[in-house]
Chains A and B, each alone.
Chain A
Amino acid sequence: MMDVRSFAVIATVVFGIGVYGALARRHAIAVIIAIELMLNAAVLNFVSFSRLAAPGSAVSGQVFAVFIITVAAAEAIVALALVLALHRALKTARLDRFNMLKW
């Protein structure tokens, strides 16, 4: 059996990539992908720590993972619809152009 530490490291790396992508990427679709990465890092953590805490019996971590995957699917639809609407209005999907609500 693999060490839980490896899962934690992988989750942290994936989460870090997600944070970087969400904060630094200019394209809206890329930011959405980065957010999905962060969610998946969280899912990985839930499952691995659930296994660590109660191997083979409790499944609360896995239930969380299923819920998150469901919510992420719904969220991705809403986000993609928003990006589509913005693209229709502004002919672009670059986040740095969406700054009409400043000051």
Chain B
Amino acid sequence: MFPGILALVPALPFLAFVVIGLVTRPWRWLSAGVAIAAISVAFLLSLGALSFLLTAGAETPRVVELTWLTTSTLNAHIGLRLDALSGIMLVVVTTVALMVQIYSLGYMSEEPSLSRYYAYLSLFCASMLGLVLATNFLQLYVCWELVGVCSYLLIGFWYDRHAPAFAAKKAFVTTRFGDLGFLIGLIMICTAAGSFDFVEIQAKVAAGTWTAGWLGTVAVLLFCGAAGKSAQVPLHVWLPDAMEGPTPVSALIHAATMVAAGVYMVARLFFLFSASPDAMQVVAVIGGVTAIFAALIALVQDDIKRVLAYSTISQLGYMMLALGVGGMAAGMFHLFTHAFFKALLFLGAGSVIHATHTNNMWEMGGLRKKMPWTFWTFVAGSLALAGVAPFAGFFSKDAILHLVMGKNLFLFALAVLGSLCTAFYMTRVICVTFLGEARAASGHAHESPWVMRVPLVILAVLSVVAGFWHAGFERLVQGGEAEAEGLNLGFAAVTQMVPLAGILAGVMLYVLKSPDPDALAVRFAPLYTLLKRRFYVDELYDWIIDRIVLRCSAGLAWFDRHVVDGAVNGVAWLTQQTGTQLRYVQTGRVQHYALAVFGGAAILLAIAHVAGAF
């Protein structure tokens, strides 16, 4: 049965996309129904696939393939690969997608172009699931770009407003920078191997066909793509702006699934990365730096979704860090738990935004009583994100910290500091948004409809219990024979102090007001401004583009307009002038022509005579 039937998992959402686009577009609720029905079946099939893997074992990947293109040098296949990684990702993607699509029924209920929304969501699910199930580089790359397109379409869903349209463009262009490296790396490895296939390339890597240095170059190039997609420093700038899209989209694409595609790609190609210690070092350092960098920025953001966006960047950094120090299972487990609690947090934020019609936390406040469901599920998500035991994030983050401590103390320090920041900024969000007295926008706030509450509750439950699958997950991913590393209680007790300290600091600043956060902001004004302006990265890019790129472009444009166009126009002008002058030869008088004929004949005769013909 498996994995052939899994073709339905990406095929059904794709079918939903086609049906919505061609048939049900005028009936928006019918379109929503079609999309949800498709993803529900995909979800059940994914659960079936995972339980199949758990009973039958996941040591060897199960692959079915169809030939797509055949050339003399390369054969391109399209297929399905079911193993531990793809099985887990299938469940993550379909679960979050199903929750988000149900939630959107409430959140987007007043949206006139709901059909377009569900069509894009379905296309996204189809491409993401195709990416997860990819058997080869070509399929991976095609789906990789498809999810990028869907992300572009959904960020710019309200394209008639300036900011979303701009943010969509920025997201697309920024990830394109990374994808350039990805494409180069892909071409290098696939031409060298003469195949796109993961299994064949893995065999060649294992056989030592290439040197570690060459593999490292390829791996770093491929990692550029992952860094763009997963918003790693310095390509992280697009993700906070992507929050201009609808909030459920942020939950699905920019928190749980698409941004995790970079992490998934590194995990999928782990055989390639782990063959080069240098590439692993690059992944670890970029991940560690991203983790602390984004967490620091998140400390001072005012927009609730932007806090979550920077938090996502930071958590993706943890995943990369884990992969970089060799902890493929730990990184993937963090991806797994993070998907649930970050989707939950985004949906909770969406619920708050839906009620208050603002993104600014400082206009909210006191929402605990008015929105109890949202509040308690948001708290559950925050505790999971902060890594408080026994919530899901505790298990995954603890595994990462433990692993990093054994490898690199500097990165460990960064990770711990990031963890402290995480707990602090989530406490800050909760205190400002839900506690305290009600501010301007919370006056008329009310709890969201049940269709939005149900996904919140389901995801909250998952955020609480997902962590307990820790050992089973590791066994599944590591392929059984590896002994799962149990929870180190002593280490956990120590690291548990970190989020608790962060929460305590948050409560002191934002509930007890001692010390007062505003006074601290004034006291440490340079640092505060630095964080508030997001380390000036966007300004730096603007400066580079304005001063360097645009100036070079202006010079090139001048060259194009005056030299290139000038040459083309000059040739045309010359031809025209020549014609204008030469036409006066045409006098219309037959005797002039006759004179030319006789003169020509005389000249020819003269030449022939000089040449000695007679």
Given contacts A19-B598, A23-B595, contact A98 B586 (CB under 8 A): no
B604 to chain A, nearest CB (A): 15
How many angstroms from the CA of A19 to the CA of B587 in the assembled complex?
A: 20
How many angstroms from the CA of A102 to the CA of B595 in the assembled complex?
A: 16
Note all chain A residues with C-beta closer than 8 A to B595.
23
User: Which partner residue on chain A sits nearest B598 by CB separation?
Assistant: A19
Note all chain B residues with C-beta closer than 8 A to A99.
587-589
How many angstroms from the CA of A19 to the CA of B595 in the assembled complex?
A: 9
A18-61, CB under 8 A of B: which get 1 and which 0? 01001110000001000000000000000000000000000000
A6 to chain B, nearest CB (A): 21
Note all chain A residues with C-beta closer than 8 A to B598.
19, 23
B411 to chain A, nearest CB (A): 84
A98 to chain B, nearest CB (A): 7
Given contacts A19-B598, A23-B598, contact A102 B588 (CB under 8 A): yes
Most-contacted residue by chain A among B583, B584, B591 (CB, 10 A): B591
Given contacts A19-B598, A22-B594, A23-B595, contact A98 B589 (CB under 8 A): yes
* B590 at the binding interface (Cβ < 8 Å): yes
Note all chain A residues with C-beta closer than 8 A to B591.
22-24, 31, 95-96
Contact present for A102 and B590 (CB under 8 Å): no
Count the A-B residue pairs with Cβ separation under 8 angstroms: how many?
31
Note all chain A residues with C-beta closer than 8 A to B583.
103
* A89 at the binding interface (Cβ < 8 Å): no
Given contacts A103-B583, A103-B584, contact A96 B594 (CB under 8 A): no
Q: Which of A70-103 contact B (CB under 8 A)?
A: 95-96, 98-103
How many angstroms from the CA of A99 to the CA of B589 in the assembled complex?
A: 5
Note all chain B residues with C-beta closer than 8 A to A24.
591
How many angstroms from the CA of A100 to the CA of B595 in the assembled complex?
A: 19
How many angstroms from the CA of A19 to the CA of B584 in the assembled complex?
A: 25
Q: How many residues of A contact B (CB 8 A)?
A: 13
B576 to chain A, nearest CB (A): 15
Note all chain B residues with C-beta closer than 8 A to A101.
586, 588
Contact present for B594 and A102 (CB under 8 Å): no
Note all chain B residues with C-beta closer than 8 A to A31.
591
User: Which partner residue on chain A sits nearest B602 by CB separation?
Assistant: A19
Partner of B587, one of A22, A23, A102: A102
Note all chain A residues with C-beta closer than 8 A to B587.
99, 102
Given contacts A19-B598, A23-B595, A23-B598, contact A103 B586 (CB under 8 A): yes
How many angstroms from the CA of A95 to the CA of B583 in the assembled complex?
A: 20
How many angstroms from the CA of A22 to the CA of B595 in the assembled complex?
A: 9
Q: Which of B563-593 contact A (CB under 8 A)?
A: 583-584, 586-591
Most-contacted residue by chain A among B583, B584, B588, B598 (CB, 10 A): B588
Note all chain A residues with C-beta closer than 8 A to B588.
98-103
Note all chain B residues with C-beta closer than 8 A to A102.
586-589
Interface residues of B (CB under 8 A from A): 583-584, 586-591, 594-595, 598
A22-B591, A96-B591 given; 15 more Cβ-contact pairs under 8 Å: A22-B594, A23-B594, A23-B595, A31-B591, A98-B588, A98-B589, A99-B587, A99-B588, A99-B589, A100-B588, A101-B586, A101-B588, A102-B586, A103-B583, A103-B588
In the complex, 13 of the A-B residue pairs with CB atoms within 8 angstroms, ordered by the A residue number, are A22-B594, A23-B591, A23-B594, A23-B595, A23-B598, A24-B591, A95-B589, A95-B590, A95-B591, A98-B589, A98-B590, A102-B586, A103-B588
